[in-house]
């Protein structure tokens, strides 16, 4: 049973002392998290863990304990659809859909609303609770046909009732967010991609603060926020820690972990994938640093190879199923069989509320909502 787990500072802080400057043992941190301290993992420890100063199996054991305390044997599955492919004006160095690079992706028009609804039904059949509409755009300006189209598609997905409607559409104004919320949008994805220090080496056409402002704007509208990053772009352990710290400070709801799949023609073409154990280490550290959040596996998880089932033992609580945008994913049948073999049960729309849904439902009552946000309930 979980107890009252209101987030609190390190116990030494209340006596005017700084937290310890030596890394904590992962198991000790897991104990403190399960006892209620959601910020038990300090920056010194996390950086040490990311820098290979802790055994990866010890990290995974601690992270798995936290995952099971938070989610039990339940996992969140989601799917995405390319609602507008290619031709993006931004220069993100990892992206095959940027018009700054010559890749295999050809620009296309917005996907028909009927096709998006059909994909929502397919996602439901695959066990997914949400369909994310993704556009290769800088954003959806007020009054644009693109915004009108996505608003219509979100409303259609919600009316069909197969899945929730999520979106990843770039920068949005307050008015645009209002329209999407009114149409039935429940969650906005807007990845930070990396820590602030590394970001400027892969993106030049917009700033890190623009991304953060978009996330904050979505939170102010009552939307759940899905914010993650990409690993294997040449970043250091410190860069990875910076990302984790930004995500904690923003208090996002879901954290997609992507691992670079290099695409010919992009700035990062030819980059070697991270080793499986390095990937599991990152998953485990992010679980311990962000114990409340749904940590789910997105692009590049196939780099895990034979160790893919171990991503859950490392702390992942969800994954994308079905096709990605422009890079390959594993087959749905294999994914669902893996879950069955592991005794993991997909969370579906209508099969009971996800913790993020519960938290959002309480947001109108600050005292209850704050307690819900900081809780670590056992769900199974």
Phi, psi of 165 (to 5 degrees): -110, 115
Q: Is residue 16 part of a domain?
A: no
Contact predicate 231/282, CB 8 Å: yes
Q: Is residue 228 part of a domain?
A: yes
Indicate whether 374 belongs to any domain: no
Is residue 97 a part of any domain in this protein? yes
Could you give the number of structural domains in the chain? 1
Give the pLDDT score at 372: 33
Q: Tens digit of pLDDT per residue, the chain (380 long)?
A: 333 333 334 333 333 445 558 999 999 999 999 999 999 999 999 999 999 999 999 999 999 999 999 999 999 999 999 999 888 989 898 898 888 788 888 898 999 999 999 999 999 999 999 999 999 999 999 999 999 999 999 999 999 999 999 999 999 999 999 999 999 999 999 999 999 999 999 999 999 999 999 999 999 999 999 999 999 999 999 999 999 999 999 999 999 999 999 999 999 999 999 999 999 999 999 999 999 999 999 999 999 999 999 999 999 999 999 887 777 788 899 999 999 999 999 975 444 444 444 443 344 333 333 333 344 554 43
Q: Give domain status of residue 222, yes or no.
A: yes
Q: DSSP class of residue 304?
A: G
| Residue found under tokens 């009114």 | 182
The CATH number linked to 81 is 3.20.20.70
CA distances from 275 to 251, 259, 284, 295 (A): 29, 10, 15, 19
What pLDDT, on the 0 to 100 scale, is given for residue 87?
Answer: 85
User: Is the residue at 370 inside a domain?
Assistant: no
Question: Distance between CA 96 and CA 116 in Å, rounded?
Answer: 22
In-domain check, residue 119: yes
CA distances from 38 to 78, 180, 233, 301 (A): 25, 32, 29, 27
Domain that holds residue 97: 72-364
Residue 377 lies in a domain: no
Q: What pLDDT, on a 0 to 100 scale, did the predictor assign at position 90?
A: 92
Q: Alpha-carbon torsion 74, 344, 227, 290, what sign?
A: positive
């Amino acid at each position: 049973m979980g107890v009252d787990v209101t987030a609190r500072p390190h116990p030494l802080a209340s006596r005017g002392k700084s937290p310890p400057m030596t890394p904590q043992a992962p198991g000790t941190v897991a104990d403190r998290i399960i006892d209620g301290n959601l910020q038990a993992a300090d920056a010194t420890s996390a950086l040490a863990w990311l820098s290979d100063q802790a055994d990866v199996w010890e990290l995974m054991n601690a992270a798995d304990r936290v995952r099971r305390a938070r989610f039990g044997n339940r996992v969140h599955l989601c799917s995405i659809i390319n609602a507008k492919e290619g031709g993006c004006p931004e220069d993100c160095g990892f992206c095959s859909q940027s018009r700054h690079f010559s890749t295999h992706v050809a620009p296309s028009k917005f996907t028909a609303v009927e096709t998006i609804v059909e994909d929502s039904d397919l996602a439901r059949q695959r066990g997914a609770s949400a369909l994310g509409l993704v556009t290769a755009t800088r954003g959806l300006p007020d009054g644009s046909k693109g915004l009108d189209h996505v608003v219509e598609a979100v409303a259609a997905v919600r009316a069909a009732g197969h899945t929730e409607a999520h979106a990843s559409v770039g920068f949005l104004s307050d008015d645009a967010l209002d329209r999407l919320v009114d149409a039935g949008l429940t969650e906005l994805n807007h990845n930070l991609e990396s820590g602030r220090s590394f970001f400027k080496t892969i993106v030049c056409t917009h700033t890190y603060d623009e991304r953060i402002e978009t996330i904050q704007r979505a939170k102010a509208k009552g939307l759940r926020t899905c914010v993650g990053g990409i690993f294997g772009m040449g970043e250091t352990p410190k860069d990875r820690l910076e990302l984790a710290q930004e995500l904690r400070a923003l208090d996002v709801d879901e954290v997609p972990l992507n691992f670079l799949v290099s695409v010919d023609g992009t700035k990062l073409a030819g980059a070697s994938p991270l080793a499986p154990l390095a990937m599991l280490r990152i998953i485990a550290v992010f679980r311990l640093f962000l114990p409340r959040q749904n940590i789910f596996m997105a692009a590049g998880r196939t780099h895990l190879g034979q160790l893919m089932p171990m991503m859950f033992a490392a702390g992942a609580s969800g994954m994308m199923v079905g096709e990605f945008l422009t890079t390959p994913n594993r087959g749905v049948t294999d994914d669902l069989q893996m879950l069955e073999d592991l005794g993991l049960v997909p969370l579906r729309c209508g099969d009971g509320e996800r913790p993020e849904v519960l938290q959002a439902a309480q947001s109108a009552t600050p005292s209850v909502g704050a307690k819900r946000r900081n809780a670590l309930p056992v769900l199974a």
